[in-house]
Amino acid sequence: MSKLTIALDIMGGDHGPPVILSAVQKAIHTLTDTHFMLCGDESVIQPALEKLNADEQARVTVIHCEQVVEMGEAPTSALRNKKQSSMRRALELVQSGEADACVSAGNTGALLTMAFYLLKTLPGIDRPALVSDMPTATHHRVFLLDLGANVNCTSETLFQYGVMGSVLAEQISGIKNPRVALLNVGEEDIKGNAQVKYADQLFRNASGLNYIGYVEGDDIFTDHADVVVTDGFTGNIALKSCEGLAKLVIHEVKRLTQASFFSRMMARIALPLLKNVYNRVNPDQYNGASLLGLRGIVIKSHGNASADAFYYAILQSKQEAEMKVPEKIKSKIETVLLEQL
């Protein structure tokens, strides 16, 4: 396999370049077959590179960028005014083919807007989707999309999400014929709004997809489906609600630390478990959330990501690049649409 190149936005994220650079150093050490293009302030990046050996340094290119997209900046403003930003440069490297994938922990809205503008969607895909995998009891991965990239979805968009999610589950998790389900308020045919009902018809009429029908909200965390499809409005609210509940449970358990000896003991053991669950369902924490449906690979790492989490996002970008996920989506959507004619 020829050497892959990954572009990294060094300036994004709440904790700034030090945390990102720590992850990048680890990636350079471990992914010895990968070239890295580091976009950001050269004066910040260079000191971190001095610790690398000659072989490692040879696998790194620094792209000096004058600008940074701020975390609170309006996406349209970033698109218009931050043409020299590290985020934009990383995306441009994917656009030009110089990089096979890019990763940013910066402003999600700006990344979505810039990526959509620069990379465009694949033929047959109307809108990109943000997708991440959810925890389940059996520890198999359920891919949930859209998590908020697109709050106005047509039935056709939902159908395209199903195709995209199916490809991701197959390529990343190695699941043959991933089970694709539509999120709805009930499993019966009569349930749901018009958008979901028509999407159900589109799925039923399509061949080449393992569509299993409707699932309800609680099935996101079970082994019922490999891919759960919903619009970005519902997906975002479902995930944020779960985040809120997880926070509440942690809060209640913490209260126990002020109680009896056994309660304190319990809380000490329970908290890491609960925090682990919390981190996995926190939509702002999901790391390596893929922006799917574009003509290039873009991974969104959370702004508040730790070095480990950003490292994981880099691994994920590499895996998607190796599996050529966009090409596979393009091919799958062509097949499915062609068979519908």
Burial of 303 (0-12, 13-18, 19+ CB in 10 A): middle
Q: What's the rounded Cα separation, in Å, for the pair 334 and 109?
A: 29
71 binds a copy of itself per the rule CB under 8 A:
no
* Interface segment toward a copy of itself; rule CB under 8 A; list 89-97, 157-165, 268-276, 301-309: 268-276
Contact flag: residue 122 with a copy of itself (CB under 8 A)? no
Identified binder of a copy of itself from the candidate list 18, 57, 265, 327, rule CB under 8 A:
265
Q: Does 242 bind a copy of itself (CB under 8 A)?
A: yes
Distance of alpha carbon 161 from alpha carbon 167, whole angstroms = 10
| Four-residue CA torsion sign, 182, 188, 189, 195 | negative
Binds a copy of itself by CB under 8 A, chosen from 117, 201, 244, 340: 244
Q: Is 175 helix (H, G, I), strand (E, B) or coil?
A: coil
Count Cβ atoms within 10 A of the Cβ of residue 158 and give its class: 0-12 exposed, 13-18 middle, 19 or more buried. buried
In the complex, least distance from residue 254 CB atom to a copy of itself, rounded to whole angstroms: 10
Instruction: Fill in the per-residue mask, 139 to 178: x = in contact with a copy of itself (CB under 8 A), - = not in contact.
Output: ---------x--xx--------------------------
Binding of a copy of itself by 230 (CB under 8 A): yes
**Site for a copy of itself (CB under 8 A): how many residues?**
55
CA 330, CA 121: separation in Å to the nearest integer? 10
Q: How far is the C-alpha of 28 from the C-alpha of 197, rounded, in Å?
A: 48
Binding site for a copy of itself (CB under 8 A): 74, 135-137, 148, 151-152, 183-185, 190-194, 196, 216-222, 230, 232-234, 236-249, 251-253, 256, 262-263, 265-266, 269-270, 273-274, 277, 281
